[in-house]
Amino acid sequence: MSTSGIALTNRWARVSALAPRGHGATTLVLLLTWLALVVATGLRAPGFLSGQTVVAVAFNMAFVGIMVTGVGIVMMSGAEFDLSVGVTAVTSALIVAQLLVEGWSFPPAMLVAVLFGVLIGAANAWLVLWLGIHPIVATLGMMFLVSGVTRIFVDFVAIPRDSFLRQQAAGAWLGVPRVFWVMLVVFTIVGLVIRSTRPGRHLVAVGGNAQAARARGISPRRVQGVAFVLCGLCAGIAGLVLASQGDIVQSSLTAGTEFRVISILLLGGLALTGGRGRFSGVFASLLLLSTLPTAIVTWGVSSSWQPVIEGLVLAVALAVNSLREKKR
């Protein structure tokens, strides 16, 4: 009797450690805010509640969401974040577009673009984990490096209309772009893997306390290195998503996305220092921050306010994250 009682407490302790109080509340608050935003915008401009908006927002979510997944892995592992995802994604989109123009078939072109993402992720991992450069500085430097090199060679590429990418990936399923479902699958798998598999728990352990993880025989460097490489992989996939939309890929297409990615993760409840947070909150926050730009334009605010609002949202997200950590 008493032993089963202890087992029960232990299990309960484990469960409550997996699902700390507050995460459900975070998700709920974010979803309610999103609902309020949608209702308010819909009342003001009935045209907002249209299939067109759904497609626009869903595409936004698909592109940003895949990068959020990647950077989320990095943040969870305690390596803070990766600022180079935006330019990596756009470069991989340019690569796939250029290769298609040159007459490559889709699968090898796709492979090259994704491998490029992996390469950048590995480079980041090397800079941060082996050279010991702080993640912000290393990935900021990488961001300038990649975008500079890319723009030396190519500024924009038109995507051939008859390519597999335009034919297949651009379509819709259940009224929502296919790429959205791709994002949803990637996001859900990563969320589940982090929550309930052994590698996922190692990731969380390293993010929560690298010293303790090392004492248990987990190599923080290896785990964080894998996190950076996966993040690069996600950036490469996001590039494919970007290339599947529109007629041309432009090097200036994603300016500022890396900052929105961080806002989404922090608002969604991931701790900047790693090891805490759940992907359900992140999804709610992705929904909110991807709807916001479209809603703002509907409210009649000039789109040049967009970066101002994104910057302020990032500041708020940082403050909220800091308050949450302090409460702990």
- Applying CB under 8 A, the residues found at the interface with another protein are 80, 127, 131-134, 136-138, 140-152, 256, 259, 262, 272, 302, 304-315, 318-319, 322-323, 326
Instruction: Tell the burial category of 291 from Cβ atoms under 10 Å away from its Cβ (0-12, 13-18, 19+).
Output: buried
Alpha-carbon distance of 2 to 112, in angstroms, equals 59
If one counts every other C-beta atom within 10 angstroms of the C-beta of residue 309, the result is: 14
Kindly list the distances between the CA atom of residue 247 and the CA atoms of 19, 50, 147, in Å, as whole numbers in the listed order.
Answer: 44, 23, 21
Helices (H), the chain: 2-18, 23-44, 51-76, 85-101, 106-125, 135-153, 164, 178-196, 198-208, 210-215, 220-243, 257-267, 279-298, 306-327
If one counts every other C-beta atom within 10 angstroms of the C-beta of residue 8, the result is: 10
* CB nearer another protein, residue 108 or residue 256: 256
If one counts every other C-beta atom within 10 angstroms of the C-beta of residue 250, the result is: 15
Q: CB 142 → another protein: shortest distance, Å?
A: 7
* CB nearer another protein, residue 298 or residue 306: 306
Q: CB 143 → another protein: shortest distance, Å?
A: 7
* CB nearer another protein, residue 40 or residue 319: 319
Q: CB 308 → another protein: shortest distance, Å?
A: 4
* CB nearer another protein, residue 42 or residue 141: 141
* CB nearer another protein, residue 12 or residue 144: 144
Alpha-carbon distance of 80 to 210, in angstroms, equals 13
Q: CB 76 → another protein: shortest distance, Å?
A: 17
Q: CB 150 → another protein: shortest distance, Å?
A: 8
* CB nearer another protein, residue 19 or residue 308: 308
Kindly compute the dihedral angle of the four CA atoms of residues 35, 260, 89, 56, in this order, to the nearest 10 degrees. 30
Q: CB 179 → another protein: shortest distance, Å?
A: 25
Nearest to 97 by CA among 231, 251, 235, 229: 251
Q: Specify the DSSP class assigned to residue 244.
A: T
Structural tokens at position 157: 């590429």
Whether the CB-CB separation of 240 and 165 falls below 8 Å is answered with yes
Q: CB 304 → another protein: shortest distance, Å?
A: 5
Q: CB 210 → another protein: shortest distance, Å?
A: 18
Structural tokens at position 154: 């190519």
Q: Specify the DSSP class assigned to residue 45.
A: -
* CB nearer another protein, residue 86 or residue 275: 86
* CB nearer another protein, residue 161 or residue 328: 328
